[in-house]
Structure 1
Amino acid sequence: MAERLATWVWVGASALALVAGMVNVVGYLGFEHQAITHLTGTTTLLGAALAEGRGTAAWQLAGMVLAFVGGAALGGLLIQDSVLRLGRRYGVALAIEAALLAGAVPLFQKGLFAGPLLAAGAIGLQNAMATTYSGAVVRTSHVSGMFTDLGIMVGHALRGLPVARRRLWLCLVIISSFLGGGVLGALAFGHWQYAALYLPAALTGATGLGYAVYRHRQVVAGTIAP
């Protein structure tokens, strides 16, 4: 039987998918309809811009890609592992992500391209934090893989094959949270414009603080090493 996913993994994945949904929709609604949290569309637009000779657009799109990769590189530097482990210092990474998102707000408001770059870096950092846990792939900044896995499991069910229920529920939780973040972010953007990014920044900071407290308690209890 597969290992049960820890509660902190469920809560963290849901919260961070919610954050990604909010950040992505604010970027889409407010900055030239440019998605922030995934690179498939950005790379496609980059290819089109290069083919059409639109130099400014190409540089901006390339900058988004590099900012995301830079954030992921920072995540790799901080976490130093692709497997989720309770002892890792995710609180530090989440604090940096919250600062990047909050710092992006005034830049967005001034119409500076540094705003979306900071937001892309923040989500790249977030995505690098969450990769696998107990054999289950955990991605919180985009849902293409989640929908793919969901479709595979539906196909398995139709053939009468066993379905990995833990994986199924994880997909549904992340997809639902990302969608919910999109709805919440769109509503917040309608009221506060770019200041809506303070909401995911606060949620990220709260998640990091909650993780730090939980980790400290586990250290005190002797469950994990300090």
Structure 2
Amino acid sequence: MFTKLPKWVEYGAFTLALIAGFVNAIGLLGFEHQAISHLSGSVTQIGVSLMERPIVSVFLIALVGSFVVGSTISGILISGESLKLGRHYDLVLLLEGILLLLSTFLLYEHISWGLCLASMACGLQNALVTTYSGAVIRTTHLTGIFTDLGLMLGSKIKGQEVNKRKFVMFSVIICGFLSGGVLGYLAFQRINVSALVIPAVCCLLLSFIYRIYTQVTSKYKFQQE
């Protein structure tokens, strides 16, 4: 699977992981101190809050549900399991950017439900990558990636061959997510939750770049024919 992906996929994976790490950092540093790019902790919090503060569980369930809604929308917009120009990746990125902008506005007004829009944006992004990676690549959380790296290390210790492209891809995603966390922290220190505007703009730019790239490539292929 990895050998079939174009060379520029690493750059896209790094950028998307950086965006997710940035968004998650703002969620953790904000007034709710809530992780939003992955759901394991949130689901655990639901179980705890059901016993201690049931009213809080409503918000957490909405947070998890928003991620699923984002993934659902991505599944509707993108068909097929292979990476192919012309598919609606740009539209998914556009929606992600809009959701992050709306989330920024709500959080700026201290409306906690803005986190649900950010969670939905992360669901959109994670499903976008999953559609062409066969559920191997994730850009909004790292648990599976670290697990796969551990498996690869175990195989290497046993003397088995390791997929170098896969190792590079996972390393790129980890570096991207970590970089996003650092940049998110620095931005939050300066402009608080308004820092979410930065990943939102990045998504909008990626959407625009993909659209232009697709049009130019299609035009070139047409001229060649």
Q: What amino acid is aligned across from residue 26 of structure 2 in structure 1?
A: V
Q: CA RMSD in A?
A: 1.8
Q: Alignment partner of 1:169: what SS?
A: helix
For residues 136 and 106 of structure 1, the distance between their equivalents in structure 2, rounded to whole angstroms, comes to: 32
- Pairs within 5 Å for 1:1-226: 3-52=3-52, 54-131=53-130, 133=132, 137-222=136-221
Unaligned runs of 5+ residues in structure 2 are none
Query: Does the aligned pair in 1 maintain the 2:3–2:165 contact within 8 Å?
Result: no
Change (3 A) 1:178 1:114: same
For residues 100 and 2 of structure 2, the distance between their equivalents in structure 1, rounded to whole angstroms, comes to: 36
TM-score, normalising length from structure 1?
A: 0.92
Query: Does the aligned pair in 2 maintain the 1:21–1:182 contact within 8 Å?
Result: yes
TM-score, normalising length from structure 2?
A: 0.93
Unaligned runs of 5+ residues in structure 1 are none
Once the two structures are superposed, residues 82-119 of structure 1 have per-residue CA deviations (whole angstroms, 9 ceiling, x without a partner) of 44322312011101110110111110011112210110
Cα drift, residue 134 of structure 1: 6.6
Q: Alignment partner of 1:80: what SS?
A: coil
Query: Does the aligned pair in 1 maintain the 2:81–2:134 contact within 8 Å?
Result: no
Q: Alignment partner of 1:222: what SS?
A: helix
Identity of counterpart residues, as a percentage? 44
Q: What amino acid is aligned across from residue 38 of structure 2 in structure 1?
A: H
Q: Alignment partner of 1:131: what SS?
A: helix
- Equivalent pairs counted in the alignment come to 222
Q: What amino acid is aligned across from residue 128 of structure 2 in structure 1?
A: M
Once the two structures are superposed, residues 163-212 of structure 1 have per-residue CA deviations (whole angstroms, 9 ceiling, x without a partner) of 01111000000010000000000110010001100110111111111111
For residues 90 and 18 of structure 2, the distance between their equivalents in structure 1, rounded to whole angstroms, comes to: 17
